[in-house]
Amino acid sequence: MIITNVVFSVHLDCAIDLRRLCYRISNARYDPRTFPGLIWQHKTIGGNCLVFSNGVISCNGKATSIQEGRQRLRRYARRIQRLGYTVCLKDIKCLTVSASHTLSTALDLNLLVKERQIVYEPELFSAVNLKYDGINCCCFHSGKVVITGIKDHAQLDDAVYPVLIELELYTRKKE
């Protein structure tokens, strides 16, 4: 399984003047007519950071682990602190983690739908959606599985890995 995206948010416990911040940093966009937050893409930190005037920041982007996503959030907050804001990290949350996985062979969607009693409309969408314990698995015929809604490592062990093992039972055997 490969983690493809990690989204974290935190409240910095200070108000931020977004127009002033935008002039002081590079690779940032702020247009309050189209979006109320500042969009910041720091080259060395990576990912995207949304900064709002109430002090809430949200970071997302390709990360290899949940720890890397948390570290990225802290690095953005540290850059804001170095610009003179009194930053205190409160309520750090992992909003969601997305991952992808490739099964050993193609997936038999018809068998999966019949045994799990899932609604499958191939004319509308070519994948089957499995929901389990707040996690959504989008399963394609090719054997690709896109997993969203992961919040922490415990959910990986308790929900994601068992579902992936179960999906291996529905793969087509090579003839």
Residue 169 predicted with pLDDT over 90: no
| Tally of domains in the chain | 2
Q: Residue 32: which CATH number?
A: 3.30.310.10
Pairing of strands 38-40, 127-132: unpaired
- The domain containing residue 40 runs over which residues? 2-94
Q: What pLDDT is recorded for position 172? A: 63
Domain boundary among 40, 75, 94: 94
Alpha carbons 103 and 156: distance in angstroms, whole number: 17
17, 75, 95, 146, 164 from 101: Cα distances, Å: 42, 29, 20, 7, 8
Alpha carbons 119 and 93: distance in angstroms, whole number: 33
Alpha carbons 12 and 26: distance in angstroms, whole number: 20
% of the chain at pLDDT higher than 70? 98
pTM: 0.82
Q: Which two tokens stand for residue 56?
A: 């809430």
| 3-class state of residue 79 by DSSP | helix
> Residues 86, 112: one domain?
no
Alpha carbons 6 and 136: distance in angstroms, whole number: 15
Lowest mean pLDDT among 25-29, 48-52, 84-88, 149-153: 149-153
Q: Can you name the residues that pair with 49 across neighbouring β-strands?
A: 40, 59
> Residues 31, 107: one domain?
no
Give the Cα-Cα-Cα angle 125, 128, 129 (nearest 5 degrees): 105
* Contact present, 108 and 170 (Cβ < 8 Å): yes
